[in-house]
Structures are given as structure tokens and as C-alpha cells.
Amino acid sequence: MNWLKVLEEDNIHLIVGLGEKGRDTSIASYATMSRLSAEKHKRRFTIHVVTMKPSPLYMEDLRELLQSNIAYTITVRYHDFDFQKISRLLEELKKEEKIIYGVVSSDLAELAKLLEEKGIPVEKV
């Protein structure tokens, strides 16, 4: 998926932890995207979905978020709930000096803790 890198060069990266409250997390992600777009003057986002739900079932929780944000350029990446892989992803994004924020369901406290340990602002839903 290296060809997606071109689409993600100047994006805000949003780590979205979808747990049992997937729909609530999606709504909170929408609010976060709107706020960040205004603050950073950017309209391009990469949403890194971290969930235990299999692909493509997690997309049901993201449906409204994607459909109601046609003004933004959005790339969605799916990640298994594997802390080693997530840590590597975060290190890579930080090394490339990307803008990173997190929106995490309250039942995924371990993910929120990992993001906070890496210095990434997290909104818990």
C-alpha cells in the first residue's frame, strides 16, 4: 500500500479505537476532525482504525463519519488490535513528524494508555 503514501503526505493522522461503542466513537471522531481541520487549516485525514472487529465489519461503525465528511479527503487504514504493530506505526508517524491525535472508545483503555505514553493527545469516548 505504498501508493497511499502520496495521498497521506500532508494529512492529519487520527488513531480511532473502535470498541463496543463504535458508533459513539465515530461521532466523536467527526467532531475531532472538524475541530482539527479548523485549527490546523488542513482538510486531509488518514483514519487508522484499531479494532477487534474483522475487516470489513468495522466499516459499519464508520459509515456516517465517511458519508458526512465529503468536504475532506479521507484515507482509512485498518489495523488489528496488536500493540507491537501499533507501537511501530506510532513511531513511524512520529519520526515523519506527522500530526497525530487519538479518539478511543472507553472500553479500550490499554490503547488510550499506549497513545498517551507516546505523547499523543487522546479523546476518550
Which CATH number characterizes residue 81's domain? Answer: 3.40.50.11100
Domains held by the chain: number: 1
Q: Which helix (H) or strand (E) holds 95?
A: helix 83-95
Q: Are 76 and 43 contacting, i.e. CB atoms less than 8 angstroms apart?
A: no
Taking the C-alpha atoms of residue 31 and residue 33, their distance in angstroms, rounded to an integer, is 5
pLDDT score recorded for residue 4: 62
Q: Are 42 and 34 contacting, i.e. CB atoms less than 8 angstroms apart?
A: no
Taking the C-alpha atoms of residue 92 and residue 83, their distance in angstroms, rounded to an integer, is 14
User: What are the tens digits of pLDDT across the range 96-112?
Assistant: 999 999 999 999 999 99
Query: Residue 95 sits in which domain range?
Result: 4-124
User: What are the tens digits of pLDDT across the range 8-45?
Assistant: 778 999 999 998 877 788 888 889 999 999 999 999 99
User: What are the tens digits of pLDDT across the range 32-78?
Assistant: 999 999 999 999 999 999 998 888 888 888 888 888 878 898 999 99
Q: Which helix (H) or strand (E) holds 29?
A: helix 22-40
